[in-house]
Structure 1
Amino acid sequence: MRVPFIKMHGLGNDFIILDAREAQLPDLSEQTAAALANRRTGIGCDQLILLETSDAADFRMRIFNSDGSEVEACGNASRAVALMHGERACVETDGGIITLSPTNSGARVDMGEPAFEWDAIPLDYAMDTAAMPVSWEMLANPSAVNVGNPHVVFFVPDCEAVPLDRLGPEIEHDPLFPERINVNVADVRDGAINLRVWERGAGLTRACGTGACATAVAALKRGLVTSPVTVNLPGGALTIEWSEGSTIVMEGPATEAFRGSFEWADYA
């Protein structure tokens, strides 16, 4: 079975997008998702996105990390899908229903309301998620936020000085986080946030939309910045708007890289 795909990226965070809204595809296993994501023997991506029909929204977006694990949300992929779809849409994800709209420079996405309760992150036991009484070497007292998927946010003097390639996987797999965790390290300078992210199931990426949302929310709650705030990632900048009791709105670019097709049986 020959299957078409679109390769897109948001600030360098790249995706394979498969559209099963009209043409039905075989069931996508973790093994097939990981094989397609492999950068040496597959198409290569940080996340694979599968679009399906939905009874709850205009369509459904499923998200698979490069290790094949299925996750709840992806902000950069949401902008890419908005650009591909070409018009405003309500989209069902495992993290909730989001609203996305293409813009002249990319897309604007309403990511829904953040959650802060310890069991909504989730954590293994109850604690204050605004300043958690935990640490890993120089990383201490993070905030935890669920923005459709779980994030822990550390504010540091210089995010570039943190050995995130080493500490990221250690924190991601800590028993404190029963569903694993996305790890964000950030510093605040001149009213903007500089951010690096270790993504659960994908590792270090050029950008993470949900990480930018979670970090902006944590910084706003601590009074470190004002909304809207610019979040600078290695791949570029996003703008995040949020206030207490409201939804998170993310705006930024997305780009189509190329289109192609593959034989499903080669990766099944």
Structure 2
Amino acid sequence: MNMTFAKYQGTGNDFVMIDNRQNSFPKNNFKLIEKLCDRRFGIGADGLILLENDVETDFKMVYYNSDGNESSMCGNGGRCLVAYAKSVGLIEEVTTFLAVDGLHHATILDNGLVSLQMKNVSNVKIADDYVFLNTGSPHHVLMVDNLENYDVKTSGAAIRYSDLYNKEGSNVNFVQQISENHFALRTYERGVEDETLSCGTGATAAAIAMNVLGKTKEHHIYIDVEGGKLEVSFVKEGNSYTNVFLKGPATFVFEGEIDC
């Protein structure tokens, strides 16, 4: 079976995109998904995303991690899927789509960046040395020194598999402050089981966590990830965060066919 695909990346977080509006993709073949994401034996990606039909919105997003399992929301993947949907003629600059965590609104900006509305956040756990919140995916956020040389994979895996999160696990984000509204971030992603160059829901979680902790009073936060730069904005209403937007690039890499 030959399969047509496109590959996109958002600040180095890369994805295999497949147009599944005809429902031809074998969604229960987890080994196939894992193979397509494999960087040696497949296309290579942090995840695979299906573009599907939806009755009430422009399209539906179905996201799989590189381990082959369907997963929670992916912010960078959502922005890349918006760019892909435009490339196949499904949308123009403004869209609404359905993902696993609900409805999302997005806009493709003149500079090629994509602004994606994320879910509202009202429940934030504040512990002695970390913050936990869900921005469409679960995120453990902690501040560290010397982030550039930090062992993200070892420390991230230890927290991800700790008794804090049992079998489900959590993504783990390591943050260092640069200025009042500017932070550096490195993320260990569950499902990839390694550090990725960027995590959109992680950047969103880090920005909100830094506001919760009082590290910044700003509502527009700049996040430096290993693969580039992201922006997060929000409105704080009491203990809730609404109108949460993630903005960053969504870049076409290549397209082709692969024999499955």
TM-score (norm 1): 0.87
Q: Residue 206 of structure 1 aligns with which residue? A: 197
Deviates more, 1:161-170 or 1:197-206: 161-170
Mapped to 2, the partners of 1:51 and 1:256 lie a distance apart of 15
Distance 2:244 2:40 in 1: 36
Counterpart in the other structure of 1:253: 249
Provide the C-alpha distance between the structure 1 equivalents of 2:106 and 2:22, rounded to a whole number of angstroms: 20
- Mark the runs of 5 or more structure 2 residues left unpaired by the alignment: 87-91
Matched position secondary structure for 1:54: coil
Question: Which residue of structure 2 lines up, in the alignment, with residue 238 of structure 1?
Answer: 230
Give the structure 1 partner of residue 104 of structure 2. Answer: 98
Query: Which residue matches 1:227?
Result: 219
**Structure 1: gaps (5+ residues):** 118-128, 134-140
What is residue 143 of structure 1 aligned with on the other side?
A: 131
Structure 1 residue ranges (4+ consecutive) displaced by more than 3 angstroms after TM superposition = none
Aligned-partner residue type, residue 186 of structure 1: V
Change (3 A) 1:183 1:116: same
AA paired with 1:171? Answer: I
Does the CA-based 8 Å contact 2:106-2:117 persist in structure 1?
yes
Q: CA deviation at 1:177?
A: 1.0
Matches within 5 A, 1:116-127: 116=123
Structure 1 stretch displaced more, 195-204 or 170-179 = 170-179
Letter paired with 2:246: M
CA deviations over 1:144-182 (Å, ceiling 9, x no partner): 010111000001233224211111111111232142100
Aligned length: 245
Q: Distance in 1 between matches of 2:2 and 2:190?
A: 30
Shift of 1:230: 0.4
Query: Equivalents in 1 of 2:255, 2:38: separation in Å?
Result: 17
The RMSD of aligned alpha carbons is: 1.5
The letter of the residue matching 1:184 is: N
CA deviations 1:63-94 (Å, max 9, x no partner) are 11111121111111111112122232212111
Identity %: 31
Q: Deviation of residue 2 (structure 1)? A: 2.1
- Residue 156 of structure 2 is aligned with which of 136, 143, 168? 168
Counterpart-to-counterpart distance in 2, 1:56 and 1:171: 39
